[in-house]
């Protein structure tokens, strides 16, 4: 079987990618790769606490590959850390890295470029699925996620802290992608077929920081 490392944001798209990959007989996901803000000990962008990230890995039954990065982090530093990941992956017999990207060609192109010539193949297991269809499929498939971050320039802060469910999708403005692929919102996946058991969470404070609205999650 092809050993695969999965880029893991802690959100719904990476979680659903794990579910899809596990249904492929020819691949085995052997690690979850996450960049972590080393100052605040939170998942980069999603701002999810490190202990919740670790709980996801335990519930998924897959080792966590944490990559500490500073805040702010330059692109040069990020790419240097990723080169270390690639070197380790090759040493451990991993031949592919999977990403939960959906339709942004520039993001996909960047990932392909960064892995070109390394011996590591990029995989995109949910690429191209219409996001309206995919979002409903996730919910119907039993995945549960909480909205942790909102871009208030495109979506009302009132959506922060809500569950990613049918009601949430019904309430989204038509201008917002149902999966938040353009960064309109980010989530934390806490239950679903990719986990052996749900991850207990409770809502914390909602704060504005760096131009975004964050809904904190606690265990």
List of the chain residues with pLDDT < 70: none
pLDDT in tens, 124-146: 999 999 999 999 999 999 999 99
The predicted pLDDT at position 73 comes to: 85
Q: 42 CB contacts (<8 Å, ≥6 apart)?
A: 36, 48, 49, 50
- Domain with 133, as residue range(s), is 2-218
The predicted pLDDT at position 38 comes to: 87
CA distances, 108 to each of 9, 40, 112, 115, 128 (Å): 16, 28, 6, 11, 11
The predicted pLDDT at position 46 comes to: 81
The predicted pLDDT at position 168 comes to: 98
The CATH number of the domain where 138 resides is what? 3.40.50.620
The helix/strand count (H/E) of the chain reads as 6, 10
Q: What is the pTM of this model?
A: 0.96
Domain count, the chain: 1
């Amino acid at each position: 079987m092809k050993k695969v490392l999965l880029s893991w944001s802690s959100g719904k798209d990476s979680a659903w990618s794990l579910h899809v990959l596990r249904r492929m007989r020819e691949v085995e996901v052997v690690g979850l790769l996450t960049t972590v803000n080393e100052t605040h000990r939170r998942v980069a962008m999603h701002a999810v606490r490190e202990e919740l990230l670790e709980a996801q890995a335990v519930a998924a039954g897959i080792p966590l590959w944490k990559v500490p990065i500073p805040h702010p982090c330059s692109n040069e530093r990020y790419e240097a850390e990723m080169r270390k990941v690639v070197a380790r992956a090759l040493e451990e017999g991993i031949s592919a890295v999977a990403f939960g990207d959906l339709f942004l060609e520039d993001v996909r192109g960047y990932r392909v470029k960064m892995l070109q010539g390394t011996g590591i193949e990029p995989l995109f297991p949910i690429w191209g699925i219409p996001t309206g269809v995919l979002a409903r499929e996730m919910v119907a498939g039993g995945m549960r996620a909480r909205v942790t971050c909102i871009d208030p320039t495109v979506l009302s802060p009132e959506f922060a802290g809500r569950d990613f469910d049918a009601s949430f999708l019904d309430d989204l403005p038509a201008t917002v992608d149902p999966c938040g692929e353009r960064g309109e919102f980010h989530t934390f996946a806490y239950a679903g077929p990719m986990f052996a058991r749900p991850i207990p969470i409770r809502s914390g404070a909602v704060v504005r920081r760096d131009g975004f609205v964050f809904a904190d999650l606690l265990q």
